[in-house]
Structure 1
Amino acid sequence: MLMWRKLEHYRRAWRPLFISVFFALLALGLYLGMRPTPPPAAYSWQASFYHGGGIFALTLLSFLAFARWPWWLRAVLLTLVGVAVEMVQALHPTRTTDWHDIVANSTGLVIGLLLIGGYQYMLRRQTA
């Protein structure tokens, strides 16, 4: 049970790095999502992996950087990021919007939120 407390110590100690990495990944995701040419994808599942994996990583990093955000705020902000990228893609003639991307974003977000909730549950259970 000591493991959860040690993980929380590391999260707090490395918070400035997590903030920097969160904003760097957010900027990279916005750039790749909003540029006129799509990133290369040899298979159809790769685009969904880019979307879901990116939002999943941002969800985890948002917790590591900003742990006091409530889950619903984290969900709303990252959903807005995903929707904004899709809206900008609709404006580019070389890009297309796809509902599968929104589903992949939502899946990555939900999995990330579940992992964060499990971590918080285990941390509360240890301190109780």
Structure 2
Amino acid sequence: MKLLIERLMVRYSLWFKLTFFALLALGLYLGMRPTPPPTAYAWQASGYHAGGIFALTLLSFAAFPRWRWWFRAGFMSLVGLAVELVQSLHPTRSPDWGDILANSTGLVAGLLLIAAWLMLTRHVRS
């Protein structure tokens, strides 16, 4: 199973990179535009933040498997903080500590899933 996934990651590396940058661009656009995305419930905005950073973290692993965990965490944190900074500059948007917490939750969940995957595959190799 591990070998199959590694082969897929190598074979579709370009597609993972393109998908990563497309999702990153979409997230930055939605986070930095003057009007927020429509939400029916208050928890949906946190779901957008956590889900987006979680998906970006996982895609960053598929696209760039050699990145260190601290670089991946720093890059994703900067993405989330940049969105909140730009939101503070728009008169119709406002930064929120809850969004930063949601970003952090998505990031930690993604990093933990990657770490679990690496530990499982390392254990299988031995």
Counterpart in 2 of 1:16? 14
Q: Which runs of 5+ in 2 are unaligned?
A: none
Stretches of structure 1 lacking an aligned partner (at least 5 in a row): none
The 2-side partners of 1:12 and 1:96 are apart by 41
Equivalenced residues, count: 126
The answer for the alignment partner of 2:26 in structure 1 is: 28
RMSD, aligned α-carbons: 0.7
Q: Which amino acid aligns with 1:77?
A: F
- 1:122: Cα distance to partner? 1.2
2:112 aligned residue: 114
TM-score by length of 2: 0.98
In structure 2, the residue matched to 1:61 is 59
Deviations 1:75-105 (A, max 9, x none): 0000000001000000001001100000000
Instruction: Please give the alpha-carbon distance, in whole angstroms, between the structure 2 residues aligned to 1:111 and 1:71.
Output: 13
User: Are the counterparts in 2 of residues 4 and 122 from structure 1 also a CA contact under 8 Å?
Assistant: no
3-state secondary structure, aligned to 2:35: coil
Distance 1:94 1:7 in 2: 44
Rounded to whole Å, the distance in 2 between the matches of 1:109 and 1:8 is 23
Q: CA shift at 1:5, angstroms?
A: 2.1
Q: Greater RCO between the two (CA within 8 Å, min separation 6)?
A: 1
TM-score, L = length of structure 1: 0.96
Alignment correspondent of 2:80: 82
SS in 2 for 1:26: helix
Aligned partners of 2:119, 2:13: CA distance in 1, in Å? 20
State the percentage of identical aligned residues: 63
Q: Secondary structure at the match of 2:21?
A: helix
Residues in 2 aligned to 1:106 and 1:12: alpha-carbon distance in whole angstroms = 29
Amino acid in structure 2 at the alignment position of 1:31: Y
